[in-house]
């Protein structure tokens, strides 16, 4: 079966705590805190400096992106990614474990997980339950910053896991890929505004199916079982045997769809990196679906 050859996408807090206790953190195992919060709510770097998993480094998604792009969280270049993660002590032979501190359990960690995979790194996992459950289970924390020895990382973009505006636009005609949007139902329908941003209306790309990413998580903040996830895809008539593109607002929660599908044995979900942030600004109006009341310019 396909699942048996896939690298484990999730590790438990118990497994990671035992690895920390056994002194296994180093060139072969690195931990990253990929927390990010809306401006004015929480300060991710400050919280990292106050407490984090022992040995973890801070993965700043604001730094590790294409800062020249007009869109929100676009991928950096191969060179930029390689340089950034190399300075965190990560080489091509490192097992990377990623978590974040969101109250949901997991929010930004799947984005960082997908970034490693799209740049050709296979040995990467998400901490199931996130920092929320690490704390709840009573595992150790530290305020001591991690200072790993820099390593050499070679990034090789895997274009099959990434979709551009032009490719998604073409797909509206060819319909070769199913398109799934991970935002909340209100934002998808256009009945709720996009938060923390001016000038971006809500709604979705024509033909997209809505699967809010929060539904992939249990109330306790853990990823649902593969059986439950598979049933969710079936309920939405998303065929995991067929090609699939995940989208959201800025290419972050779309990665939850990629992770959920991966856990069901489908490792080839592509993410539309620009997502709604780009689509709203570039796409023909007839390709945007919204119940939002028309506003005067």
Which are the catalytic amino acids?
Answer: 248
Q: Is 292 helix (H, G, I), strand (E, B) or coil?
A: coil
Helices 275-282 and 165-174, packing angle to 10 deg: 80
Name the DSSP class of 26: B
Can you spell out the DSSP letters for 130-186?
HHHHHHHTT---B-PPP-PPP--------GGGEE-HHHHHHHHHH--SEEEE-S-HH
CA distance 220 to 269: 26
Q: Residues 69, 74, 77, 82: what is their CA dihedral angle, to the nearest 10 degrees?
A: 140
């Amino acid at each position: 079966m396909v699942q048996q050859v896939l690298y484990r996408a999730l590790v438990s807090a118990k497994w990671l705590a035992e690895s920390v206790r056994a002194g296994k953190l180093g060139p072969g195992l690195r931990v990253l805190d990929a927390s990010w919060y809306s401006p004015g709510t929480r300060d991710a770097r400050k919280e990292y400096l106050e407490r984090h998993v022992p040995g973890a480094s801070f993965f700043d998604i604001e730094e590790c992106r294409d800062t020249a792009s007009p869109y929100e969280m676009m991928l950096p270049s191969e060179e930029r990614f390689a340089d950034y993660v190399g300075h965190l002590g990560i080489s091509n032979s490192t097992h990377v474990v990623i978590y974040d501190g969101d109250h949901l359990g997991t929010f930004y960690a799947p984005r960082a997980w997908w970034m490693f995979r799209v740049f050709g790194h296979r040995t990467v996992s998400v901490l199931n339950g996130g920092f929320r459950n690490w704390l709840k289970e009573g595992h150790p924390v530290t305020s001591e910053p991690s200072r790993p020895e820099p390593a050499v990382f070679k990034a090789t973009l895997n274009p099959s896991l990434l979709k551009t505006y032009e490719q998604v636009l073409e797909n509206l005609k060819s319909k070769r890929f199913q398109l799934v949007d991970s935002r909340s139902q209100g934002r998808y329908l256009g009945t709720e505004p996009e938060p923390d941003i001016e000038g971006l209306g809500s709604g979705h790309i024509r033909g997209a199916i809505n699967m809010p990413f929060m539904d992939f998580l249990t109330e306790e903040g853990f990823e649902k079982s593969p059986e439950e996830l598979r049933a969710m895809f079936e309920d939405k008539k998303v065929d995991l045997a067929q090609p699939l593109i995940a989208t959201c607002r800025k290419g972050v929660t779309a990665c939850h769809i990629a992770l959920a599908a991966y856990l069901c044995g489908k490792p080839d979900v592509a993410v539309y990196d620009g997502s709604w942030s780009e689509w709203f600004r570039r796409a023909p109006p007839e390709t945007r679906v919204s119940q939002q009341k028309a506003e005067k310019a």
